[in-house]
Amino acid sequence: MDGEQATWEDEVRLIAPELFPCLRHTVLEDEKPEGVPSKENKTTSSLARFFKRKKTKAGYLPRRNAILEKSVEKLRASLNCCKCSKHTAAKRLKQLFPFTSILDGYSGLYDLPCDIIAGLTIGIMHIPQGMAYALLTQLPPVYGLYTSFFPVLIYFFFGTSRHISVGTFAVVSLMIGSVVDKGHVAWQRHELQGAIQDISTGHNITHSLQEPDPASTSLGATNLSSASPGFDNFFRTRPLSELDMVKVGYAMAVTFCVGILQVVLGFLRMGFLTTFLSDPLISGFTTGAAIHVFSSQIKSAFGVKVDRYSGPLKLIFSYHDFFTHLNHPNLVTMTITIVTVLFLIGIKEGINNNKKFRETFRGIPIPGELIVLIIGTVLSKHFQLHKQFDVEVIGHIPKGFPTASLAFVKYLPDVIGESFAICFTAFATSFAISKILADKHNYIVDPNQELIAHGMSNFLGSMCSSFCSAASLSRSMVQEGVGGKTQIVSLISSVLVVIVLLALGPMFEDVPNSILAAIIIVSLKGLFFQFAELKRLWKVSKVDYTVWLVTFFATVLLDVDLGLLIGLIYNLVPILLRTQEPYSCLLGRVPNTDIYVDCNIYKETVQLPGIKIFKFESPLYFANMDNFKSALVKATNVDPHYLKLLKNEMKDTDMTLRHREVCLATSEEPCESHDHLHPLSGRSVPSNCGTFAIIIDGSAIQYVDSVTVRVLKDIVLDYRDVDIDVYLGDCKASVRIMLEKSGFYNHVYRRNVCATIHHAVQVAQKSAAMSKETLASTFTMAPEDFLQEGEFVRLDLENSVESMDKIAAEGSS
């Protein structure tokens, strides 16, 4: 036995510190840190010292010098990074302006021609899409052209993606339109209050001015149109420029907030937040938003007067008004819409997406949107469609660039809440597109730098009258498809937009709104095709399937911002549920190896006698600790509280029986019966009392918190009270550090935290073997020595409960 003991001691001394640095004291180690006074007794037996230590407080206070030194080294390293030098400054500038690195090795012979062709193509797409998507924001079309220039130019300097096309995007434009509607409502209320004050002072104001009909807002949707003819006539007499200024102010204010928020998140390295927006959530949200985009254009497509609503259930009210007035459509407007839609679909599906024709045109798409825009302008001006047939047209388009202004700052408090939803939506969709294209072309996009790039585009763009921008999937795919190599494409496309702003803008004043509506409707085809995702999600994951549906219906029935919020919350629920009730199992040993696997899956495994190895596949934190304890008891079939209660009851019963024997021995009178005190009637001793060790597999536990450490300490101590040792094996470094910081080793032996599962098994087996040997030597004492040591003797770990039950049964008989 001495040879085996020495061999095992040497093995643990050599291997354990190498595998598990935090394990400073093994089962047999009696070394102490320098400066710690000796507390050991005079005996020289390491086995005796071990059991002596077990009776006293566990372990010694750990040295924290190593942890402190590492923290100081990290602080010094971070301070060295902040030192100003030419190399550091150049590195920081390259990180902030990635275009310098992207253009390294740029070939003017091979790359520039591709970028010029792609730039001209994207610039041609920017013009009609910018003017069309401006309608979604309730702003004049020229603001769409501003958004197609300023953010595009700014992104060139800060962005890391080489292929995305930044500018107007339908979903983001729709969300900006919701904020503009909010400004419209605020302006109406302000004007109404002013009119009421004029009436009270005796001014001649239309007497039919009335409050809006409460029935129209009873279900949450607010009617943005006039509530009565008098109200409508009153607003027609007011200058429209004032309302336009309010709308522009709200749009620029929310864009400014979005830009600031994105820049701050980028500098705080919070790009990982986009991971909370899963693909099913984004797909369901964008599809629901596409329904809103389509619904907002039906009035322009059919020439029907439909009131505008905002808030929950606004689509229901909008479609109610649409079908109510559908019997009086503008036939010319309907004809223009139908012809434009058919023409665009024919160009896209018949030529641009046709492999045969695409090879003929060398991958350069036919600019169908620009063609219908030019044809529509010519026909509208020639036939005077606006005057002769009451066809709505774009109207005045000013020349030149707007003056930089911060006049919208007064509206910032009103739009802060909406800016969060727009911020995450714009960046999530943009980064998803850039990630797809980056993976295809084998380069890396930095999410934090992308946040800064989009934030700077919106922050600086808002001062130049451009609303919130994002990457467009259709333009990005075209830019990549025609051979664009870098963001030089953005510079080329910006040149075309500048030409339109400086010279060609007034030529598009007679473009019918129905043509822009048709362009928007056709561009939604890709979003509507996302319904096909439902079939795949149903087969792959029912949870993702429900996330898609919940997000979609919440977006459609409520509103865009509420739909995103509800979808995000619902998307987090399955994650919380999975951490609340994760999979747990017992591990068994693969024969002739030191590998331990799930007994439920691998049937050839062998469970070690007296040892239960438990695995809980989830991080441990305050919310799932109760489930962890329940799963541990259920899997191991060992409840420490029940065993402790059973042990105490047996001790009380044994004392009563001994007292009865003394009474019978000293008196001939019958002693009072204590059968009614027997607490074990109807209760059976569990069959798992042979368990002497429980090992918790820490490989799946990624992190723990302070509550977890306290509960783990209680678990170890509770099982120790019933003579069962609990070990932690294969714990992560972060878990070991948390145990160290939380004072876990002030109550638990360091030998209870092992490097691997197999290491914990060896420690548990050796500890049990030494306990048996020590107890066996105890029974060599003379019978009279038992009475000197005490009336009750501690029994074998494996048979303690059975032995006590046997004694109680014999005494009662």
Instruction: Please provide residue 185's backbone torsions phi and psi, each rounded to the nearest 5 degrees.
Output: -65, -45
Determine contact, residues 500/145, Cβ cutoff 8 Å: yes
Q: Which of 243, 257, 290 is nearest to 139 (CA)?
A: 243
What average pLDDT does the structure give for the chain? 79
Q: Residue 228: which pLDDT band, with cuts at 50, 70 and 90?
A: very low
d(CA 47, CA 351): 87
Sign (positive or negative) of CA dihedral 125, 128, 131, 133 = negative
Higher pLDDT, 789 or 486: 486
Sheet holding 725-729, edge to edge: 596-598, 584-589, 611-616, 693-697, 725-729, 753-754
Amino acid identity, residue 437?
L
**Rounded mean pLDDT of 702-724?**
91
d(CA 579, CA 509): 58
pLDDT above 80 for 207: no
Which H or E run contains 613? strand 611-616
Helical segments of 348-472, H only? 355-360, 368-383, 385-389, 412-441, 447-462
Strands 693-697, 470-471: pairing is unpaired
In degrees, to the nearest 5, what angle opens at C-alpha 622 toward C-alphas 619 and 627?
A: 70
Sign (positive or negative) of CA dihedral 497, 502, 503, 509 = positive
Q: What is the pLDDT of residue 689?
A: 57
132 three-state secondary structure? helix
pLDDT above 60 for 518: yes
Q: What is the pLDDT of residue 172?
A: 94
Determine contact, residues 288/555, Cβ cutoff 8 Å: yes
Q: Which of 633, 658, 616 is nearest to 812 (CA)?
A: 658
Q: pLDDT tens digits for 273-297?
A: 877 788 899 899 989 999 999 998 9
pLDDT above 80 for 587: yes
Q: What is the pLDDT of residue 96?
A: 82
Q: What is the pLDDT of residue 51?
A: 45
**Rounded mean pLDDT of 13-42?**
44
d(CA 749, CA 59): 6
Higher pLDDT, 80 or 568: 568
Q: What is the pLDDT of residue 730?
A: 92
Q: What is the pLDDT of residue 92?
A: 78
Q: What is the pLDDT of residue 665?
A: 52
Q: Of the segments 8-17, 629-638, 670-679, which one has the largest average pLDDT value?
A: 629-638
Neighbours of 667 (CB within 10 A): 9
Neighbours of 93 (CB within 10 A): 10
- Percent of the chain surpassing pLDDT 70: 74
Higher pLDDT, 655 or 801: 655
Cross-strand pairs, 726: 694
Q: Residue 262: which pLDDT band, with cuts at 50, 70 and 90?
A: very high
d(CA 572, CA 707): 22
Q: Of the segments 234-248, 307-321, 714-728, which one has the largest average pLDDT value?
A: 714-728
Instruction: Please provide residue 142's backbone torsions phi and psi, each rounded to the nearest 5 degrees.
Output: -65, -25
Q: What is the pLDDT of residue 133?
A: 92
Letter string b/e over residues 127-161, b meaning 16 or more CB atoms within 10 A of that residue's CB: bbbbbbbbbbbbbbbbbbbbbbbbbbbbbbbbbbb
Neighbours of 541 (CB within 10 A): 14
Determine contact, residues 803/775, Cβ cutoff 8 Å: no
Q: Which CATH superfamily is domain 584-663+701-812 in?
A: STAS domain (3.30.750.24)
Higher pLDDT, 577 or 41: 577
Q: Residue 52: which pLDDT band, with cuts at 50, 70 and 90?
A: very low
**Rounded mean pLDDT of 241-245?**
85
Higher pLDDT, 460 or 481: 460
753 three-state secondary structure? strand
**Rounded mean pLDDT of 348-357?**
83
Q: pLDDT tens digits for 734-768?
A: 899 999 998 899 999 898 999 999 999 999 999 88
**Rounded mean pLDDT of 634-644?**
87
pLDDT above 60 for 802: no
Q: Residue 773: which pLDDT band, with cuts at 50, 70 and 90?
A: low
Determine contact, residues 75/460, Cβ cutoff 8 Å: no
Determine contact, residues 591/565, Cβ cutoff 8 Å: no
d(CA 475, CA 120): 12
Q: Residue 239: which pLDDT band, with cuts at 50, 70 and 90?
A: very low
- Say how many CA atoms lie within 13 Å of 371 toward its Cβ: 13
**Rounded mean pLDDT of 440-453?**
92
pLDDT above 80 for 252: yes
**Rounded mean pLDDT of 167-174?**
93
pLDDT above 50 for 265: yes
Higher pLDDT, 488 or 89: 488
Determine contact, residues 526/394, Cβ cutoff 8 Å: no
The residue with tokens 């919350």 is 569
d(CA 107, CA 299): 49
Domain ranges of the chain: 111-198+241-303+313-525, 584-663+701-812
Gap between the terminal Cα atoms of the chain: 42
Q: What is the pLDDT of residue 33?
A: 40
CA gyration radius, the chain: 38
Q: What is the pLDDT of residue 335?
A: 95
Q: Of the segments 245-254, 599-608, 696-705, which one has the largest average pLDDT value?
A: 245-254
Q: Which of 367, 600, 378, 601 is nearest to 507 (CA)?
A: 378
* Rounded-to-10 torsion of CA 370, 372, 377, 383: 170
Amino acid identity, residue 75?
L
Q: Residue 8: which pLDDT band, with cuts at 50, 70 and 90?
A: very low
Strands 693-697, 611-616: pairing is parallel
Q: What is the pLDDT of residue 222?
A: 66
Q: What is the pLDDT of residue 372?
A: 92
d(CA 245, CA 67): 60
Question: What would the two tokens of residue 732 be?
Answer: 């992560």
